[in-house]
Structure 1
């Protein structure tokens, strides 16, 4: 049996399509190692025609590490580790902004696996941007300026209270999540713990301010960085087909789920893999 994966880059900085693998079956050590190294190199991987169950998706994600249980999103009936992102007119998406998943915790996710279950006729693409490419495109003096700074990340920036008042249970879950996830600090520039490469680690979804500078300086820096990170040069865009799967390195990327498909419905399943505390090292 040929265990060699076919990896086709989709751009010079980020993204590759992977073939010659079935994600529904447990991967052999050789295939998993190839997959892992492809993820480190390309930052986000895409797979066509991969019908996987929530349990199979959970088991695949578990090969990378322990899984995160989201404090707000609903989960699949089969297992709490799989988030169900079911968006439509009565539940519009809240991830149509550039964000890195769950940076409001001390150990933000290493990565995530997203499976397309129900798609609109058109629209609903997802874009990813490389924090590595964005960092490396900055001038040396500006990189030096950012290297020692820290930024605050806040759960409530993306998960506002007014969106979670549909039921008393929903509101109570939000209040508990807010209590358990107070604002915290991460470095503005993050060192990848495996590759050692540097990446910008601020995102519009959760980053509220850069500390140790004035309020106006923070606003100016974040405005520039949010705009800079999402330049098309640093992006890859994926047009979903049913049963597609994407795996990305959450430590060095951001993504944006295009919300152009309403009133049609879009259902995605996500497994989120816990990581470690971000750090900066020259």
Structure 2
């Protein structure tokens, strides 16, 4: 394992650090995570505010807004500032098909938590980002963590970078959902979501930054390697999200909103609140094909 001080660079090389004019920003981590103060998400965004929030998203990768209490329509409306919304037929819908509802904890309901992952990398065009709001929060626990996958890539040994730069990996939805659904539910969706290949190291389409783009839930093998070699290398790459220096942890209150860049991060919902209830609603924004 790595020993010594890690390089923790928040901004892409050559990216100027500028103040924010429309809101206050309170950093929550060294390279990832910032609370935004002074923005009311129940109101439409003007072009200048949307642009500044997008810059904050690119620079901090995960943004947190306290006490917004959005309706599902307002939550979807905010997300649409970044593009078309994505529907996921594998998850339970909330008020509409583009709002996914996670009601967890009570009655031993199975969860999608406690695993580091990037959302829907089994799609040809994985989500750009997601907007998550907590409707009901347990009295303790239920935090969410995010990991900065650009920092993870930056700190890989050069010999590992040399092995994975230009490599591709297969992503498949079945391993990630098999523990929740039987084959009879998943097999009919294989034509809709066949396995896809994505680069192991993705280039961010807006910042140009290179990022590690494999995850435990959906990445099954590295193309061109035999199974044992692929498994060994993937285990090592998956472990990079576990490094605390690359992470931020958010403690929710009811009505809080998180907006993250799914291209640049992994996340982990901490499953430590049973038998209490946790209810969240998420809207995902359609993305582009990784390169």
Q: What RMSD, in angstroms, separates the aligned Cα atoms of the two structures?
A: 1.6
Secondary structure of the residue that 1:163 maps to in structure 2?
coil
Shift of 1:87: 1.0
Shift of 1:210: 0.9
Q: 1:186 aligns with which of 194, 198, 201?
A: 198
Secondary structure of the residue that 1:190 maps to in structure 2?
strand
Distance 2:279 2:187 in 1: 26
Q: 2:253 aligns with which of 241, 254, 266?
A: 241
Match status 1:30 vs 2:30: no
Q: How does 1:170-181 map to 2 (within 5 A)?
A: 174-181=186-193
Distance 1:21 1:185 in 2: 38
Secondary structure of the residue that 1:164 maps to in structure 2?
coil
Shift of 1:11: 1.8
Per-residue deviation, residues 5-48 of structure 1 (Å, max 9, x unmatched): 11122122111110000111111112111110000000000111
Shift of 1:216: 1.4
Query: Paired residue for 1:47?
Result: 65
Q: Which is worse superposed, 83-92 or 31-40?
A: 83-92
Q: 1:271 aligns with which of 283, 288, 291?
A: 283
Change (3 A) 1:3 1:24: farther
Per-residue deviation, residues 182-221 of structure 1 (Å, max 9, x unmatched): 2111110000001000000000111111111121111111
Per-residue deviation, residues 103-152 of structure 1 (Å, max 9, x unmatched): 00000000000001011111110000011000001123321221011111
Distance 1:92 1:229 in 2: 23
Distance 1:92 1:57 in 2: 25
Per-residue deviation, residues 235-261 of structure 1 (Å, max 9, x unmatched): 000011110100000001000000111
Distance 1:179 1:119 in 2: 37
Q: 1:84 aligns with which of 80, 101, 110?
A: 101
CA contact (8 A) 2:116 2:241 kept: no
CA contact (8 A) 2:132 2:280 kept: yes
Pairs aligned (count): 271
Query: Paired residue for 2:32?
Result: 14
Alignment gaps of 5+ in structure 2: 1-19
Scaled by the length of structure 1, the TM-score of the pair is 0.92
Alignment gaps of 5+ in structure 1: 166-170
Scaled by the length of structure 2, the TM-score of the pair is 0.89
CA contact (8 A) 1:3 1:30 kept: no
Secondary structure of the residue that 1:209 maps to in structure 2?
strand
Match status 1:218 vs 2:236: no
Q: 2:130 aligns with which of 112, 118, 121?
A: 112
Distance 1:27 1:6 in 2: 16
CA contact (8 A) 2:100 2:281 kept: yes
Query: Paired residue for 2:264?
Result: 252
Q: How does 1:87-236 map to 2 (within 5 A)?
A: 87-88=104-105, 89-160=107-178, 163-164=180-181, 174-236=186-248
Secondary structure of the residue that 2:134 maps to in structure 1?
strand
Query: Paired residue for 1:168?
Result: none
Distance 2:52 2:185 in 1: 40
